[in-house]
Amino acid sequence: MRVPVRVIATEKLLNEMDSEVFDQAVNVATLPGIQHRSFVMPDGHWGYGFPIGGVAAFDVEEGGVISPGGIGYDVNCGMRVVLTNLTEGDVRPHIRELVNTLFKKIPTGVGGEGFVKLSKQEFGRVLEEGGEWSVRNGYGWKEDLERTELRGMADWADVSKVSKKAIDRGFDQIGTLGSGNHYLEVQVVKEENIKYSEVAKKWGIFPGQVVVMMHTGSRGEGHQIATDYLDLFLSVMRSKYGIEVSDKQLACAPFYSNEGQDYWKAMACAVNFSFANRQTIVHRVREAFSETFRKDAEALGMSQLFEIAHNRATLERHQVNGVTRQLLVHRKGATAAYYAGREEVPAFFRDEGSPVIIGGSMETGSYLLVAMPGASETFCSTAHGSGRTMSRARAKHIWRGEELLRSMESRGIYVRAQGMGGVAEEAGGAYKNIDEVVEATHVAGISRPVVRLVPLGNIKG
DNA sequence: ATGTGC
């Protein structure tokens, strides 16, 4: 091990973690160029190579590596929140119509095709321009970009580093949600769930308000790019760069190598795909609300609060032992928490720090938080979700999709899903207690809860 | 996560 491992958790969460998490965090701590600590966030669980909830930063000037396993197959998977000026009283009577309209307008499920029809050449521009492309083509508002990480565009993207296969998989998937734990949810702000009213008010959040949250990523595009470069790194890692790893799933290459740079530029294309994807979905969400409530999206106050990813590597400056270094921070199932004073904080949030979006299960709710200065310890990182407590197979054994839908509807949550198996897999009971995860990040001083959001309606794959 | 596994 080149650095120690640090797990951020309460005792209960620590006891719930599978033992593979610790083995994996130890493996990560052996990789070339790693700095300070190999971290696990409180929602950590077993993943491909690196744990989900893993954070590792590599000094790129000192032979530090880039590793697809530290980023995840779903490159730049992330969260976006759009506000409305509607209240629970406005929306509840129309929730079925609203959710059905959303379900019709936003394709869900594996292999779902979007409504955006493009030539493969034009698709290259999507991969290089991300959310900028979407907004320029009428999918979203210019000000959405001011409230998106990196302004919705990783500007180092180079489409020539992306395989034809990846292009073929991605070019018809813009504006699609996907499957698994990806979802789009209509949520409500209950007065008693506002935890930090000063910041909530500044962000335009009020008691009774309805907001929209989504969780999706780079679909087949990012998956293929990750697959392509995992293969490439495996073939050169030992022979060309002499890097020995304890687990093949930790395939990596020096950041400043031909292969490392090619993946860095291809990864940015997957990042841009996911920005364009979520941006285009926001456009459809506004259309669905407009149709249901017979008002323009502007009149419905549908401005974007924020969007932030939890599966990416980013070049950032951090202090290590009092020296500022250029680090490649890998966050896999970990949200960036840029506290006030960091250059990454968008202008609107400069005084309080960046929002953090932590998605929970469709039964239990989600959180908005704000980054805290203690995140300087974790390379500006915090948790990203609840974290599963059991396999999808086990969840399907315990719950029946149809039954769960009926039970949720009786509790005021209307869900539309592509398949009933997927519903059972995502049962609230298959996840850790999100309140506990959030509390662990607060106690650690890395992020502070602003509001807990509870579901009214949800669409999923 | 994924045109879901070999």
> Over the stretch A304-360, which tens digit does the pLDDT of each residue have?
999 999 999 999 999 999 999 999 999 999 999 999 999 999 999 999 999 999 999
Please give the distance of CA A348 from its chain centroid, rounded to a whole number. 21
Give the closest residue to A313 by CA, choosing from A370, A377, A381: A381
Mean pLDDT of A180-206: 98
DSSP A431: B
Q: Which nucleotide is nearest to A177 (CA to C1')?
A: B1
In this prediction, residue A126 carries a pLDDT of 98
Backbone region of residue A292 per phi and psi (left: phi > 0; alpha: psi in -120 to 50; beta: other values)? alpha
Chain-centre distance of CA A65, in angstroms? 22
Which band of pLDDT confidence, cut at 50, 70 and 90, is reported for residue A111? confident
Q: Is A354 helix (H, G, I), strand (E, B) or coil?
A: coil
A180 CB closer than 7 A to any strand B atom: yes
Tell me what pLDDT residue A331 has: 98
Supply the pLDDT for residue A157. 98
The pLDDT value given to residue A201: 98
Question: How high is the pLDDT of residue A113?
Answer: 86
3-state secondary structure of A160: helix
In angstroms, the CA of A110 and the C1' of B3 are apart by 8
Q: Which two tokens stand for residue A187?
A: 């949520």
Residue A196, classed as helix, strand or coil, is coil
The rounded distance, in Å, linking the Cα atoms of A157 and A152 is 12
β partners of residue A209 = A87
N- to C-terminal Cα separation, chain A: 40
Q: Please give the average per-residue pLDDT across A383-401, as a whole number.
A: 92
Pairing of strands A381-382, A335-336: antiparallel
CATH number at residue A177: 3.90.1860.10
Compute the Cα dihedral for A139, A416, A99, A182 and give only its sign. Answer: negative
**C1'-nearest nucleotide to the CA of A112:** B3
CA of A277 to C1' of B4 (A): 21
Q: Which bases along strand B come within 7 Å of a protein CB atom?
A: 1-4
What pLDDT score does A47 carry? 95
- How large is the average pLDDT for residues A300-306? 98
Number of domains in chain A: 1
Whether the CA torsion A187, A192, A198, A201 is positive or negative: it is positive
* A459 contact partners, CB below 8 Å, separation of at least 6: A99, A102, A103, A106, A108, A177, A183, A184, A185, A415, A416, A417
Residue A398 banded pLDDT, cuts 50, 70, 90: very high
Q: What is the mean pLDDT of residues A1-29?
A: 96
User: In this complex, which residue's CA is closest to the C1' atom of nucleotide B3?
Assistant: A111
Mean pLDDT value across residues A284-303: 98
In whole angstroms, what is the distance from residue A326 CA to residue A58 CA?
8
The DSSP annotation for A10-52 comes to -HHHHHHS-HHHHHHHHHHTTSTTB-S-EEEEEEEE--SSSPE
With a 7 Å cutoff on the CB, does A178 touch strand B? yes
Distance from residue A322's CA to nucleotide B2's C1', rounded to whole Å: 42
Residue A130 region by backbone torsions, left for phi larger than 0, else alpha for psi between -120 and 50, else beta = left
Q: Is nucleic acid strand B under 7 Å from A421's C-beta?
A: no
Å between A10 CA and B6 C1'?
A: 41
Q: Which residues of A are identified as catalytic?
A: 384
Which pLDDT score is estimated for A112? 76
Judged by C1' against the alpha carbon of A77, the nearest nucleotide is: B1
Mean pLDDT, chain A, whole residue set: 97
User: What residues make up the domain containing A281?
Assistant: 5-460
Backbone angles phi, psi at A456, to 5 degrees: -110, -40
